[in-house]
């Protein structure tokens, strides 16, 4: 069953239930109100009759002849009810003397119920002169009026129910349509995506949770489309990077086999270089995959950061001197020990420091800063190069990504350095980020967690 049908059926059921409930509630309520009104009226009339009986006894000194007074009183009340259309009930009265003998009886064979009877002693100056028994009896007129009123109320409820039900169904129809339209769009979108159409987008005009759901769906398809594009690009890049060394190795070996090229030591060294390069590429891809899957094995050991970075910088001194670039290290004032895999973090720093020197102009400066922020050690590499375009920054940590597609391999490698750096840092529980300003330079910053017991530790 469709959602729209479920909504309409649910609303209809609620309306019917409310209509029946109101009908039963008002009917019982009206009957109770009538009974309360008649009971109060009966009590007032009973008091009046009792007072009349007492007055008669005071004036005559006896209850003899009281039946005639009661008959006259009943006749007068009946005439008044006929003229005014009163809804009061008739009251039958029985008067007993002090010995319990019936003196007067105006019940006229009406139905007597002990539950409805009113029985009180008649007392004059503290002396009991008899017993007063009254039997209120609902007349046919009262019953008819009560039924007519209840029927009128039920009829009003019925018309109100029909009108309210119609309005509710109309509102429910438009409401269910408003609810199901975005859901239908999302279902259609999911169908498109499941068939591989990641370019499909939904447009939801409402400003509620459905709008948020539609935006989340579009973001998901954006991510899927981008992931698919990266996957295809990755396959193409890997194929390209493998094709070049394989082609060189194949050409060299074929030339040697045909005798066109002599297998000298120099030729063998060139083939070996390509094999090494191919092996390094495959190894880098494997290490990156393990890091991204958080399954890269680490051999952590306590390492003093200042000394660790100074050692790596000393290996780059000759590279910096070739371009007249100044390497400046701002160490932390105290010894700072981190639990790290020295080989993995060395590769991270080599990649970042090598890029900083490579893309800094001659006579530039590369600054390495070490500091502590909270429970993290911050190591940053700031160069004075040309900077990175803002639109390229979100993608520089992707595999094989190059901001300059025309960049030669000897200047930019295969595009795995930053991806590997990011993976190695994250597998240590840290983060890496980049800030860049065109014309001023770029800063890469890595953050590594500090164990509580190693903070402030000195040799």
pLDDT at 49 (0 to 100) = 79
Beta carbons of 316 and 360 less than 8 angstroms apart: no
Residue 341 bridge partners (DSSP): 300
pLDDT at 458 (0 to 100) = 42
Do 308 and 445 lie in one domain? The reply is yes
Do 117 and 19 lie in one domain? The reply is yes
Low-confidence stretches of the chain (pLDDT < 50) are 84-87, 114, 405-412, 457-459
The residue from 248, 263, 292 where one domain ends is: 292
Q: Is residue 110 situated within a structural domain? A: yes
pTM higher than 0.95:
no
Q: Is residue 169 situated within a structural domain? A: no
Q: What is the pLDDT of residues 399-421, one digit of tens each?
A: 766 655 444 444 445 567 788 88
Do 41 and 111 lie in one domain? The reply is yes
Do 282 and 324 lie in one domain? The reply is no
Q: What is the pLDDT of residues 176-204, one digit of tens each?
A: 777 777 778 888 888 888 888 888 888 87
Q: Is residue 175 situated within a structural domain? A: no
pLDDT at 349 (0 to 100) = 92
State the Cα torsion 15-17-23-29 to the nearest 10°. -120
Do 240 and 260 lie in one domain? The reply is yes
CATH number at residue 447: 3.30.565.10
Range of 132's domain?
Answer: 3-144
pLDDT at 211 (0 to 100) = 82
The residue from 110, 144, 178 where one domain ends is: 144
Do 280 and 225 lie in one domain? The reply is yes
pLDDT at 408 (0 to 100) = 44
Q: Is 441 left (phi over 0), alpha (psi -120 to 50) or beta?
A: left
Query: Considering only CA atoms, which of 298, 282, 302, 295 is closest in space to residue 348?
Result: 298
CATH number at residue 233: 1.10.287.130
Query: Considering only CA atoms, which of 63, 36, 69, 45 is closest in space to residue 134?
Result: 45
Read off the tokens for 436. Answer: 């860049």
121 sits in which H/E element? strand 118-124
Q: Is residue 97 situated within a structural domain? A: yes
Q: Under 8 Å CB-to-CB from 274, ≥6 apart: which residues?
A: 245, 248, 249, 252
Do 333 and 432 lie in one domain? The reply is yes
Do 280 and 304 lie in one domain? The reply is no
Read off the tokens for 116. Answer: 């409805």
Domains contained in the chain, number:
3
The residue from 123, 144, 165 where one domain ends is: 144
pLDDT at 76 (0 to 100) = 61
pLDDT at 414 (0 to 100) = 56
Q: Is residue 157 situated within a structural domain? A: no
Do 136 and 13 lie in one domain? The reply is yes
Q: Is residue 129 situated within a structural domain? A: yes
Do 424 and 309 lie in one domain? The reply is yes
Do 73 and 127 lie in one domain? The reply is yes
Q: Is residue 262 situated within a structural domain? A: yes
Do 342 and 307 lie in one domain? The reply is yes
Q: Is residue 177 situated within a structural domain? A: no
Distance between CA 284 and CA 11 in Å, rounded? Answer: 63
């Amino acid at each position: 069953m469709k959602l729209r049908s479920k909504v309409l059926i649910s609303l209809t059921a609620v309306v019917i239930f409310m209509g029946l409930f109101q009908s039963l509630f008002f009917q019982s309520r009206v009957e109770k109100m009538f009974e309360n009104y008649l009971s109060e009226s009966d009590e007032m009339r009973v008091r009046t009759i009792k007072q009349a009986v007492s007055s008669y006894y005071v004036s005559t000194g006896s209850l003899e002849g009281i039946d005639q007074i009661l008959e006259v009183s009943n006749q007068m009340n009946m005439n008044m009810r006929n003229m005014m259309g009163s809804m009061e009930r008739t009251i039958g009265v029985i008067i007993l003397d002090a010995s319990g003998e019936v003196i007067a009886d105006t019940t006229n064979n009406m139905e007597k119920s002990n539950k409805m009877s009113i029985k009180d002693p008649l007392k004059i100056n503290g002396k009991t002169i008899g017993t007063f028994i009254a039997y209120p009896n609902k007349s046919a007129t009262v019953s008819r009026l009560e039924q007519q009123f209840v029927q009128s109320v039920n009829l009003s409820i019925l018309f109100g129910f029909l009108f309210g039900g119609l309005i509710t169904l109309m509102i429910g129809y438009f409401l269910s349509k408003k609810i199901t339209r975005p859901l239908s769009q999302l279902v259609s979108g999911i169908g498109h995506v499941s068939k591989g159409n990641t370019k499909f987008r939904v447009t939801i005009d409402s400003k509620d949770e459905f709008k948020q759901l539609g935006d989340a769906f579009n973001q998901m398809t954006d991510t899927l489309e981008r992931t698919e594009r990266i996957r295809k690009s990755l396959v193409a890049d890997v194929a390209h990077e493998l094709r070049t060394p394989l082609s060189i190795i194949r050409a060299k070996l074929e030339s040697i086999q045909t005798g066109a090229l002599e297998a000298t030591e120099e030729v063998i060294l060139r083939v070996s270089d390509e094999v090494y390069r191919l092996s390094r590429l495959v190894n880098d891809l494997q290490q990156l995959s393990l890091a991204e899957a958080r399954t890269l094995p680490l051999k952590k050991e306590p390492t003093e950061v200042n000394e660790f970075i100074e050692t790596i910088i000393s290996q780059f001194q000759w590279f910096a001197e070739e371009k007249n670039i100044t390497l400046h290290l701002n160490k932390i004032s105290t010894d700072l020990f981190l639990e790290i895999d020295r080989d993995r973090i060395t590769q991270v720093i080599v990649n970042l420091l090598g890029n900083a020197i490579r893309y800094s102009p001659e006579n530039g400066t590369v600054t390495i800063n070490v500091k502590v922020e909270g429970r993290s050690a911050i190591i940053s590499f700031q160069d004075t190069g040309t900077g990175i375009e803002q639109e390229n920054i979100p993608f520089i940590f992707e595999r094989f990504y190059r901001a300059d597609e025309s960049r030669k391999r000897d200047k930019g490698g295969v595009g795995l350095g930053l991806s590997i750096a990011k993976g190695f840092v994250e597998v240590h529980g840290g983060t890496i980020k980049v800030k860049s300003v065109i014309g001023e330079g770029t800063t890469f910053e890595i953050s590594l967690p500090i164990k509580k017991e190693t903070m402030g530790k000195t040799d």
